[in-house]
């Protein structure tokens, strides 16, 4: 059986990742692929419990390094229990956030820099590297306004504009450094246009 492909979706809060991920799953299924849609932090029972700790606005304060280690604790379980078995079984894996989010939020937003994230990434199996990463990019103010319009904010959404600007800058820096793996999608456009851009970016893998 052929191995599946591993596609990740990244972006600021309010970029529309989650809706676009659902549409991309349907698109791939119409093209005959078996698709697993999953998310980080989360994707396993343990990962979803860690997600609650990480996202709850009333969570105890934690040091940036602790936050990074908890993200990778959830990720390790997710890779071993879910992502690698799915790829080996021929499924396509669509993941709503992955390692790039740690570079952007903990490395950029929290100011840890790339080195601690790279050290942890190096512990993941080589096959757990995405084949394609779609960065849904939009101005910070627009993303946060959309995120706040959809209900209570989580621990990251309540961060400052400057924090989210650092997150965006870190994502864009990575995407420009490795253009073969990343596609930058303009998420400020209307949903149909964004969807078309995503399908065009995925087409070469099909
Ligand atoms: P979301 O899936 O609703 O976007 O929420 C996940 C939040 O967790 C989002 O604010 C980004 C944050 N996050 C990190 O800070 N680091 C990570 O490694 C991951 C996967 C998510």
- CATH number (domain holding residue 62): 3.40.50.300
Tell me the mean pLDDT in the region 32-45.
Answer: 98
Confidence of residue 148 (pLDDT cuts 50, 70, 90): confident
- Ligand 1 centroid distance, CA of 69 (Å): 13
CA proximity to 42, closest of 154, 195, 141, 146 = 154
Range of the domain at 60: 6-205
The predicted model scores a pTM of: 0.97
Helices (H), 91-160: 99-101, 114-121, 140-149
Residue 142 has pLDDT above 80, yes or no: yes
72 lines ligand 1 (CB under 6 A): no
| 43 Cβ inside 6 Å of ligand 1 | no
Give the count of domains, the chain: 1
Work out the average pLDDT over 3-8. 95
Q: Are 110 and 67 in contact (CB under 8 A)?
A: yes
Per the domain annotation, does 1 fall within a domain? no
For the stretch 149-204, pLDDT in tens is 888 889 999 999 999 999 999 999 999 999 999 999 999 999 999 999 999 999 99
Atom of ligand 1 nearest to the CA of 54: 8
Task: Return the residue whose CA atom lies nearest to atom 16 of ligand 1.
Answer: 102
Instruction: Give yes or no for residue 205 having a pLDDT over 80.
Output: yes
Average pLDDT, whole number, for the chain? 96
Separation of alpha carbons 74 and 89, rounded Å: 22
pLDDT of residue 120: 98
pLDDT at residue 90 in the model = 97
DSSP H or E stretch at residue 136: strand 132-137
Question: Is 60 exceeded by the pLDDT of residue 1?
Answer: no
The answer to whether the CB of 171 is under 6 A from ligand 1 is no
- Average pLDDT score over residue span 123-128: 96
Q: What is the mean pLDDT of residues 49-77?
A: 95
Structural domain includes residue 125: yes
Check: CB of residue 20 under 8 Å from CB of residue 136: yes
Give the whole-angstrom CA distance, residue 105 versus residue 186. 20
Q: Is 162 helix (H, G, I), strand (E, B) or coil?
A: helix
Q: What is the pLDDT of residue 43?
A: 98
- Is the Cβ atom of 105 under 6 angstroms away from ligand 1? yes
Q: Residues with Cβ < 8 Å from 95, sequence gap 6 or more?
A: 6, 7, 8, 9, 38, 39, 40, 43, 83, 130
């Amino acid at each position: 059986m052929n191995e599946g492909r591993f596609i990740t979706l990244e972006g600021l809060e309010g970029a529309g990742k989650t809706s676009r991920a659902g549409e991309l799953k349907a698109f791939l299924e119409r093209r005959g692929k078996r698709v697993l849609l999953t998310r980080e932090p989360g994707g396993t029972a343990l990962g979803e419990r860690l997600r609650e700790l990480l996202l709850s606005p009333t969570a105890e304060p934690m040091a940036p390094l602790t936050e990074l280690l908890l993200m990778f604790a959830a990720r390790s379980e997710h890779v071993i229990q879910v992502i690698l078995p799915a790829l080996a079984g021929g499924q396509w894996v669509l993941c709503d956030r992955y390692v790039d989010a740690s570079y952007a939020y903990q490395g950029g937003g929290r100011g840890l820099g790339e080195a601690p994230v790279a050290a942890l990434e190096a512990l993941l199996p080589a096959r757990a590297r995405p084949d394609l990463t779609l960065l849904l990019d939009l101005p910070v103010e627009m993303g946060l306004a959309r995120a706040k319009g959809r209900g209570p904010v989580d621990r990251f959404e309540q961060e400052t504009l400057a924090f989210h600007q650092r997150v965006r800058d870190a994502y864009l820096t990575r995407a420009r450094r490795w253009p073969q793996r990343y596609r930058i999608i303009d998420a400020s456009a209307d949903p149909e246009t964004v969807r078309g851009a995503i399908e065009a970016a995925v087409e070469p893998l099909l």
